[in-house]
């Protein structure tokens, strides 16, 4: 399933509406009632006002996000942040000692702007593939490609709460895209997410309906 839109808010609302109307209902591994669509692809054609979904969530007392700078640091900080089982920044910039961004992606795209190898991996089997592991990355990888003079990114997400999780995923994806685009001197193109499990939880349904009715 492919959903396109001009900005993050439009795409987010289209995805939520699709899940609410057509999502399959079942009980997940945490014993929560959810609606789910598998293999949902969302494309933001003009990444403007990328923070808008988070701002909308923050208007609900129950769904407060951390400050934008903290969310940004989670993807750009090269050190592990205390209080989290993992953070994407440390895995992007120091994956078992490998700086995937500065030492690979940026030089690769500067050398070959048609490359199809500019991939960052966040999932680490040596740490994450354990039954006793309480929390593992939902965002598995990012793939960067320069096409028609613009840098595009696709994020692969294994488990995506489309109401509360996707807004952070898309904001963090944008932050890393912006960082790389500035380093290689390229304009930003599209942002795409591919969620193998795009879902919402039953306790979110009322708030989702309010979001969908916002003008």
Q: What is the dihedral of CA 3, 74, 85, 198, to 10 degrees?
A: -10
Q: Pairing between strand 24-27 and 139-147?
A: unpaired
Q: Are 141 and 121 in contact (CB under 8 A)?
A: yes
| Predicted pLDDT of residue 214 | 76
Give the domain ranges of the chain.
Answer: 2-212
pTM over 0.75: yes
Round to whole Å and give the CA distance between 166 and 173: 10
Round to whole Å and give the CA distance between 70 and 148: 33
Local structure of residue 203 (DSSP, 8 states): G
| Predicted pLDDT of residue 85 | 59
* N-term to C-term CA, the chain: 25
- Per DSSP, what are the bridge partners of residue 147? 150
C-alpha Rg value of the chain to the nearest Å: 17
Contacts of 57-61 spanning 24+ positions with Cβ under 8 A: 57/164, 57/167, 60/207, 60/210
DSSP string, 84-133: SS--HHHHHH-BTTB-TIIIIIHHHHHH-TT-S--EEE---HHHH--TT-
The label of the residue with tokens 């999502």 reads: 23
Local structure of residue 59 (DSSP, 8 states): T
Q: Are 19 and 198 in contact (CB under 8 A)?
A: yes
What SS3 state is found at 45?
coil
Q: Are 23 and 37 in contact (CB under 8 A)?
A: yes
Round to whole Å and give the CA distance between 126 and 117: 23
Q: What topology does CATH give the domain 2-212?
A: Thymidylate Synthase; Chain A (3.30.572)
Round to whole Å and give the CA distance between 142 and 168: 15
| Predicted pLDDT of residue 215 | 61
- Output the tens digit of pLDDT for each of the chain's 215 residues: 899 999 999 999 999 999 999 999 999 888 899 999 999 999 999 888 999 999 999 998 787 888 999 899 999 998 876 666 578 999 999 999 999 999 999 999 999 999 999 999 999 999 889 888 878 899 999 999 999 999 999 999 999 999 999 999 999 999 999 999 999 999 999 999 999 999 999 999 999 999 998 76
Q: Are 5 and 11 in contact (CB under 8 A)?
A: yes
Q: Are 124 and 95 in contact (CB under 8 A)?
A: yes
């Amino acid at each position: 399933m492919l959903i396109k839109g001009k900005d993050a808010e439009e795409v987010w609302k289209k995805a939520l509406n699709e899940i609410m109307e057509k999502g399959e209902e079942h009980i997940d591994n945490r014993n929560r009632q959810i609606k789910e669509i598998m293999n949902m692809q969302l494309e933001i054609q003009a990444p403007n006002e990328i923070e808008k979904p988070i701002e909308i969530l923050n208007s609900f007392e129950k769904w407060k996000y951390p400050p934008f700078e903290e969310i940004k640091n989670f993807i750009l900080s090269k050190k592990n942040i205390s209080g989290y089982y993992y953070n994407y920044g440390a895995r992007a910039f120091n994956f078992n000692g490998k700086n995937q961004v500065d030492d690979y992606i940026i030089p690769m795209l500067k050398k070959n702007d048609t490359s199809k190898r500019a991939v960052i991996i966040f999932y680490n089997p040596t740490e994450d593939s354990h039954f006793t592991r309480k929390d593992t990355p939902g965002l598995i990888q990012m793939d960067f490609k320069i096409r028609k003079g613009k840098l595009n990114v696709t994020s692969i997400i294994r488990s995506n709460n489309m109401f509360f999780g996707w807004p952070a995923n898309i904001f963090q994806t944008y932050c890393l895209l912006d960082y790389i685009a500035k380093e290689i001197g390229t304009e930003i193109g599209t942002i795409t997410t591919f969620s193998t499990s795009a879902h919402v939880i039953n306790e979110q349904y009322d708030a989702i309906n309010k979001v969908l009715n916002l003008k």
